[in-house]
Amino acid sequence: MKLLENKVVIVTGAARGIGEGIALKLAEQGANIAFTYVSEGSAPKAQALEEKLAAFGVKAKAYRSNAGVFEECEAFVNDVVKEFGTVDVCVNNAGISKDNLLLRMSPEQWDEVMITNLKSVFNMTKQVIRPMMKARKGSIINMSSIIGVRGNAGQSSYAASKAGIIGFTKSMAHELGSRNIRCNAIAPGFIETDMTHYLKEGAAAEEFLKKIPLGRFGTTEEIANTTLFLASDMSSYVTGQVISACGGLNI
């Protein structure tokens, strides 16, 4: 028996990176996957992922939907419920970083990060709790970051958005626990994706790796494994938690 047989899972921002790894891992465990991307340039990758997911024998569909826009999330979740019947698990993964020292950060840069990373989680959660409350079960998993826990110079907007996700996650655990809906966050450290490839270049890279007890970046599969735990009944008594998957960077 697979861990997510016949479950309906939403993953936002899954055409590449961590989201793609999560979609693949959860489909391997029997989940039907509805996933989003936002850039036109990612459409071919989304199409290719749809095919890879279907090869696991599950239903899979890509949607172009901006997680930062409330009405687009509403339309997306309505379409998923029509097409897939319900939503059992929602992984709020879509995110961006626009790093800059506060002195140089514009209000527009600040807003873009807060809307894409934090408002998106509000937008999506507000929609998915309707089918989840009806079913009296559900698991919501929000992608925070170790930077949201400890902060970082040059990343104030990113850190604030990811810390905001943690407060939101814990509040949802309080609000939704009585409906058997769990809500948890993952705080990844540095994971090898487009978002972090610049960190692996240059002389500073070796120094940087010394700060990570496990001495290496994480993989998208390692974050997908943590997500699988939180999505499945393996974590049925876990809610309101922030699970760090960061190679020990937080100790």
DSSP 8-state assignment for residue 2: -
19 near ligand NDP (CB under 6 A): yes
**CA separation (Å) from 165 to 62, 200, 213?**
25, 27, 26
CB-wise, 138 or 218, nearer to ligand NDP?
218
SS3 call for 215: coil
Could you tell me the two tokens for 212?
A: 């990570």
* The one among 127, 193, 226, 244 contacting ligand NDP by CB under 6 A: 193
For residue 231, which of 32, 17, 14, 15 has the smallest C-alpha distance?
A: 32
Q: Cβ-count burial of 153 within 10 angstroms (0-12 exposed, 13-18 middle, 19+ buried)?
A: exposed
Catalytic residue numbers read 158
Token pair of 164, please? 């905001």
Specify the stretch interacting with ligand NDP by CB under 6 A; choose among 48-56, 79-87, 191-199, 231-239: 191-199
Under DSSP, is residue 9 helix (H, G, I), strand (E, B) or coil? strand
Binding status of residue 156 toward ligand NDP by CB under 6 A? no
Q: Are 10 and 90 in contact (CB under 8 A)?
A: yes
Site map 97..116 versus ligand NDP, x via CB under 6 A? -------------------x
Q: For ligand NDP, which residue of 96, 114, 135, 212 counts as binding (CB under 6 A)?
A: 96
* Cβ atoms of 5 and 88 closer than 8 Å: no
In the complex with ligand NDP, the residue whose CB is nearer, 6 or 205, is 205
The secondary structure of residue 143, as a DSSP letter, is E
CB of 210 to ligand NDP, least distance (A): 17
Q: Report if residue 95 touches ligand NDP, rule: CB under 6 A.
A: yes
Query: For residues 26 and 38, which CB has a smaller minimum distance to ligand NDP in the complex?
Result: 38
Residue 68 near ligand NDP by CB under 6 A: yes
Which range touches ligand NDP (CB under 6 A), out of 90-98, 126-134, 177-185, 206-214? 90-98
105 contact partners, CB below 8 Å, separation of at least 6: 98, 156, 157
CB of 12 or CB of 127, closer to ligand NDP: 12
Element (H, E) at 60: strand 60-64
User: Of residues 35-64, which lie at the interface with ligand NDP (CB under 6 A)?
Assistant: 36-39, 42
Binding-site size for ligand NDP (CB under 6 A) equals 30
Point out which residues bind ligand NDP (CB under 6 A). Answer: 12-19, 36-39, 42, 66-68, 93-96, 116, 143, 145, 188, 190-191, 193-196
